[in-house]
Amino acid sequence: MLNGHPILQFGTSRFLQAHVDLFVSEGEGALGGITVVQGTDNPASTRRAQALADGYEVVIRGLSAGRPVDLRKTCRSVREVLHARHDWAALRGRVRGPVQLIVSNTGDSGWTLAAEDGPDLLAGHAAAPASFPARLLVLLHDRWQAQPAAEFTLLPCELVTRNGDALRDLVLGLASDWRCPPAFVDWLSSHVVWANSLVDRIVSEALEPAGAVAEPYALWAIEVQPGLQLPCRHPAIVLTDDLASHERLKLFLLNLGHTLLAELWLRGSLAADMTVLQAMHEPRLRQPLEQAWQQEVLPVFDALGQGEAARAYLVDLRDRLLNPFLAHLLADIAQNHAQKKLRRLQPVVELAQSLLPALGQPLLRATLAAH
């Protein structure tokens, strides 16, 4: 029997710890354990990675149906941690054998290609590529060589619209640049399931050395397609034929709301340790946010025929943002702020231009224009 576990995870973030990893730990019918891949040499990431396989705690705090929730759960799904660079040979061996599914959440710049990555990295004893897309291409090439008839699932969790399609196109483009064998390129399209998914859970704090504090609400919406393999069954995993509706609710209300609060916080030079909860009680931030939701975003949902669902989501969202138990720092939300503004605000502005050309959207446009 080959050593290793059926789920390979790129990323050690507190989000993954309180979302995917916890789902596998507490869900039913799990494929098995998780091998986590540490992608950087950051000392904090190293400490966190070393502690994950020992079992760690996730604290769930917030309101559910109006009642306080304060739970402590031990997550034991992570069985092994490898370093992408130092353990590259072992990692390649895992993917040739027991791995059936890859999950990723590599951050806002995680899909950036590296100029130094090239086709020579496909060789058997080559060093690890610098970028995640190149690492993924090499690992999938290894899998194709070892098991060319096997199905394989990719479940990216990055907040990118139709993230599975986007990751597939990125890897296929890289395979073309590297002049990979046509049979391998065909396998990437015919035997690999590039799942489109959306994750939704506020994970506000990291625990040391590993673990996280998260809200009770959780969603992992995954688009149905043939051959899709799930890591487990869990009440928060929702299979859907209409992923776009879930994406719009989260992106245009929760994520847009977070980014507007961060923009207003940065403009106002407010307290460095201000939290979302404090911002929601600060009229200088709350009022513009509510005005943007009501006047600049909800009309777009109405034009899409999704207004009722958006208003229902917004009711729950206010409770989530007013969660008295989470210390969600605006400074954390403001990281990679320029990229987040483009990803979270630009789509709703473009939709309004198409569906409601007379809609002004002054706050959204001013936020996008600001440096």
Give the Cα separation of 25 and 234 in Å (integer): 10
**Beta carbons within 8 Å of 274's beta carbon, 6+ residues apart:** 265, 282, 329, 330, 331
Q: How many domains does the chain have?
A: 2
Same domain flag for 179 and 250: no
**Tokens 């936020």 — which residue?**
367
> Does residue 235 sit in the same domain as residue 311?
no
Whether residue 336 is predicted with pLDDT greater than 80 in this model: the reply is yes
Determine the Cα–Cα distance for residues 62 and 72; give it in Å rounded to an integer: 12
Among 183, 216, 241, the domain-final residue is 241
Taking CA atoms, 113 is separated from 9, 110, 118, 163, in Å, by 19, 9, 10, 16
> 88 in a domain, yes or no?
yes
Rounded Cα–Cα distance for residues 7 and 30 (Å) = 10
1 in a structural domain: no
For the chain, what is the largest distance between any 2 Cα atoms, rounded to a whole number of angstroms?
64
Return the axis-axis angle of helices 163-177 and 132-146, rounded to nearest 10°. 80
Place of tokens 């597939």: 168
Q: Are 136 and 115 in contact (CB under 8 A)?
A: no
Range of 321's domain? 244-369
Torsion angles phi and psi, residue 74, rounded to 5: -100, 125
**pLDDT confidence of 326, banded at 50, 70, 90?**
confident
- What is the Cα 92 distance to its own chain's centre? 24
102: in domain: yes
Same domain, 258 and 203: no
Q: Please check whether residue 213 lies inside any domain of the structure.
A: yes
Q: Which of 241, 257, 272 is the last residue of a domain?
A: 241
Locate tokens 């604290």: which residue?
59
Are residue 200 and residue 300 in the same domain, yes or no? no
Domain shared by 213 and 277, yes or no: no
- 154 and 173: one domain? yes
Residue 218 is assigned to a structural domain of this protein: yes
Question: Among residues of the chain, what percentage have pLDDT more than 90?
Answer: 86
Q: What CATH number should be reported for the domain holding residue 285?
A: 1.10.1040.10
Q: What is the CATH number of the domain that holds 77?
A: 3.40.50.720
What is the percent of the chain with per-residue pLDDT over 70, rounded to a whole number?
99
Asked whether residue 2 is assigned to any structural domain, the reply reads: no
Tens of pLDDT, residues 243-294 = 999 999 999 999 999 999 999 999 999 999 999 999 999 999 999 999 999 9
Band (7; pLDDT cuts 50, 70, 90): very high
SS3 94: helix
Closest-CA residue to 53 (of 104, 103, 99, 9): 9
Q: What is the pTM of this model?
A: 0.86
CA distance 110 to 158: 9
Are both 223 and 91 inside the same structural domain?
yes
Same domain? For 219 and 307 the reply is no
With b for 16 or more beta-carbon neighbours within 10 A and e for fewer, the 93-131 pattern comes to bbbbbbbbbbbbbbbbebbebeeebebebbeeeeebbbb
Q: Minimal CA–CA distance to 211: which of 54, 322, 327, 81?
A: 54
Q: What is the pLDDT of residues 145-175, one digit of tens each?
A: 999 998 899 999 998 889 999 999 999 999 9
Residue 15 and residue 130 in one domain: yes
User: Mean pLDDT over residues 173-184, rounded?
Assistant: 97
Flag whether pLDDT at 2 surpasses 60: no
Task: Judge if 259 and 143 occupy the same domain.
Answer: no
Q: Residue 234 falls within a domain, yes or no?
A: yes
Amino acid at 100: Q
Pairing of strands 211-214, 237-240: unpaired
| Residue 145 token pair | 């060589």
* Preceding amide of 98 cis, omega within 30: no
Identify the pLDDT of residue 3. Answer: 64
Q: Are residues 182 and 121 in the same domain?
A: yes
Domain boundary among 241, 275, 305: 241
CB 28 within 8 A of CB 232: yes
In a shared domain, residues 33 and 69: yes
For residue 42, being part of any structural domain is answered with yes
User: Which amino acid makes up residue 360?
Assistant: G
The DSSP secondary structure of 33-55, one letter per residue, reads: -EEEEE-S--HHHHHHHHHHTT-
